[in-house]
Chain A
Amino acid sequence: MSSRLVLISGKGGVGKSAVSAAYALAARRRGERVLAIDMLDGSGLGAHLGEHDLTFKPRPIGEGLEASTIDRAEALLEYLRVQVGIPAIATIGPAARAFDALASTAPAIREVVTIGKVLWEVKRGVWDLVVADAAPTGQIGSYLRAARTVRELVASGRILDQVEWMEQILTDAERTNLVLVTLPEELPTVETAETIEWIRNEGVVGAITVVANRVLPPLEADVPESDGPVAEAAALHQSLWEEQQHWLSQLPVDTSLPYLFGTHTPAEVAERLADFLEAEG
């Protein structure tokens, strides 16, 4: 089976965990076997899936969906054991912790281990779709580029064999899609545009989809000139909508997700957004 990968990124605060959960739920509704991975331990993906304590080992969340989180130390052990083929690693725990100290300071090693885990799940071929709630746009570059950085820094060593297949999966537009979640506001729009440009220049990922979150519907009436709450609410809505439209026009937006008024649990938010993703196909 050839698995597909959706990596979800975006500026902090745009709702990327909610969108990640929605992608996973929408795929499950289509009957796909889905793995959702929280790439940055504790980002809130679990809450949006109604399962707060995600573990390194994928756990089922209802039919057709499993979820996990990346514990770096465990990911490193698994990486060395499964991918590099060093079996005795589990017996030298303190050394593994020290190795983690190295991995967390040496450029690209930590990122290779983290994204390597995600790509390994894709390579295994047991899922139709792997959805990864990935690093925010400020850091996503170092993950996408990690394999290449390793190639530039490392002249020999077994890690080189590993980064080759990682790059192949990442750059395959048929398999890998980077979803950039944004808000129709200035800073997320600017950051998303910069990220798209950077990715195009570097050529580090197959395909890009831009998803605008919390988009207001049009008012569908003229703002009345009277006083009072009706007119005030209409004037605020119209101004915010115009502002949003301005920023939406600055990006190649593929999908718009709605602003959800009122109080919803994280799980409800993800289900509602999944409804919209489903409707968009």
Chain B
Amino acid sequence: MTKALVVTGAGGVGKTTISAALAVTAARSGLRTLVLTVDPAQRLSTALGIAIGNEPEPHPEEQGLWVAMLDATASWQEVVRRHTDPEVAERLIDNEFFAAATSHFPASQSFAAAEQAATYIDARAWDLVVIDTPPAAGGIDFFTAPARMADLVGGRLLRWLTGARLPGRRFLFDRTAKPMLRLADQVLGSNLLERIAEFFMDLRTTYDGVAKRARQIERHMRRATTIVVTTSDPAPMREAVRFFHALPEVASPPAAVFFNRSLPESWIDARAPRGTDAALAANLERWGVESQKQRSARRELGERHRVAIVTVPWQRRPPTDLDSLAELIETAESVPQLW
């Protein structure tokens, strides 16, 4: 049985780093672990020892650790190839709207990530799959994307243009019956709407496959363990609170909140000894104020949502190798059992 751990949180809080650190820790505890990363910083890719590709590769130096990166464009092409005839698939991929419609659809990267993750969970080749979520919408998207994807290829627009029945490829929508269509033609020029509709009719051939896959993905994601990564800054905190409201509808409630870049609580009341350089004393004071802000944020979240709060210390330098990644989790306080 492959377990899944989904790492959510606002952009910029260190989600990818925490995902990698948890994966290294799990691998070192003897689990065959795959980490699926999104857009890692150069130094983190280097730490993970990779020219990371779309396919899981075993880490050259760390036994039990596999790494793969998400490439949204390639994954969309795979989705299309998997779920429709080869001829239609190639026509879709070459279509002038394909890149725009896929990259433009807000959930595309999330859907691609969720589908890729589900594929690896199904493969049963790993004990644990750690999934870093794309930053768009802070990860909620990741859980809602499959259904929305099915809705997109099911074609709200197409149904509106052509009615519920799927017509033949060469269709003619009835402009006289729909004043909006005549209006759209005036504004957009006469054939744009028709070209878009043709594109969506091709895309709709993927509907059965995508809808079925979406349901499978949702089942996987409901069983996954989720954690939230945040800092004590207001924007990521608001995002973290949003997860507590939104996640129970689509996934399991967060098992823990990881406060990244935590400062020692001992700095809060620390006073510089008499005779300390004024600049150094002022420096301790401002970081003490910052530490106090962090403690309030942790307490507030922990009390309000009755969730395990993990503090990950603020490192002087970002992790540059596997040992420093593992150290992040070793030095973290109150890490619960996640796998």
A101→B192 contact, CB < 8 A: no
8 A Cβ contacts from B273-305 to A: 273, 276-277, 279-281, 283-284, 286-290, 292-293, 296
B187→A158 contact, CB < 8 A: yes
Interchain nearest-CB distance for B183 vs A (Å): 7
Does A253 sit at the interface, judged by CB under 8 A?
no
B270→A186 contact, CB < 8 A: no
Does A44 sit at the interface, judged by CB under 8 A?
yes
Query: Of A119-127, A168-176, A202-210, A224-232, which binds chain B?
Result: A224-232
Residues of A within 8 A of B267 (CB): 229, 232-233
B12→A237 contact, CB < 8 A: no
Interchain nearest-CB distance for B7 vs A (Å): 16
Interchain nearest-CB distance for A40 vs B (Å): 11
Does B176 sit at the interface, judged by CB under 8 A?
no
Q: A13-B13, A13-B235, A154-B189 are in contact. Are A234 and B280 (CB under 8 A)?
A: yes
A233→B100 contact, CB < 8 A: no
In whole angstroms, what is the CA distance A240 to B286 when docked? 14
In whole angstroms, what is the CA distance A20 to B187 when docked? 33
Q: A44-B235, A92-B180, A230-B272 are in contact. Are A106 and B287 (CB under 8 A)?
A: no
B104→A142 contact, CB < 8 A: yes
Does B174 sit at the interface, judged by CB under 8 A?
no
Does A190 sit at the interface, judged by CB under 8 A?
yes
Interchain nearest-CB distance for B216 vs A (Å): 25
Interchain nearest-CB distance for B168 vs A (Å): 21
In whole angstroms, what is the CA distance A220 to B283 when docked? 10
A12→B11 contact, CB < 8 A: yes
Query: Of B26-34, B114-122, B125-133, B313-321, which binds chain A?
Result: B313-321
Does A109 sit at the interface, judged by CB under 8 A?
yes
Most buried by B among A80, A158, A219, A232: A232
Interchain nearest-CB distance for A12 vs B (Å): 3
Q: Which of B100, B186, B191, B272 contacts A108 (CB 8 A)?
A: B100
Q: A230-B280, A239-B317 are in contact. Are A101 and B156 (CB under 8 A)?
A: yes
B: interface residue count bin: 35 or more
In whole angstroms, what is the CA distance A235 to B41 when docked? 24
B104→A107 contact, CB < 8 A: yes
Residues of B within 8 A of A262 (CB): 286, 289-290, 292-293
Does B249 sit at the interface, judged by CB under 8 A?
no
A101→B157 contact, CB < 8 A: yes
A219→B279 contact, CB < 8 A: yes
A187→B41 contact, CB < 8 A: yes
In whole angstroms, what is the CA distance A98 to B184 when docked? 11
Interchain nearest-CB distance for A169 vs B (Å): 20
Does A221 sit at the interface, judged by CB under 8 A?
yes
Q: A106-B192, A157-B188, A261-B287 are in contact. Are A12 and B10 (CB under 8 A)?
A: yes
Given A262-B292, A263-B296, output 8 extra A-B contacts at Cβ < 8 Å.
A13-B236, A99-B184, A157-B192, A186-B318, A187-B12, A187-B39, A187-B41, A233-B280
A residues near B, CB below 8 A? 11-15, 44, 80, 84, 86, 89, 92, 95-96, 98-99, 101-102, 105-109, 138, 142, 149, 153-160, 183, 185-188, 190, 219-221, 224, 228-230, 232-237, 239-240, 243, 261-263, 266
B residues near A, CB below 8 A? 10-13, 39, 41-43, 96-97, 100-101, 103-105, 135-136, 152, 156-157, 160, 178-180, 183-193, 196, 200, 234-236, 238, 263-264, 266-267, 270, 272-273, 276-277, 279-281, 283-284, 286-290, 292-293, 296, 314, 316-318
20 A–B contacts from the bound complex (CB under 8 Å): A12-B11, A13-B10, A84-B186, A84-B187, A92-B179, A98-B160, A101-B160, A105-B105, A107-B97, A158-B187, A159-B188, A221-B279, A221-B280, A229-B264, A229-B266, A229-B267, A233-B267, A236-B314, A243-B317, A261-B287
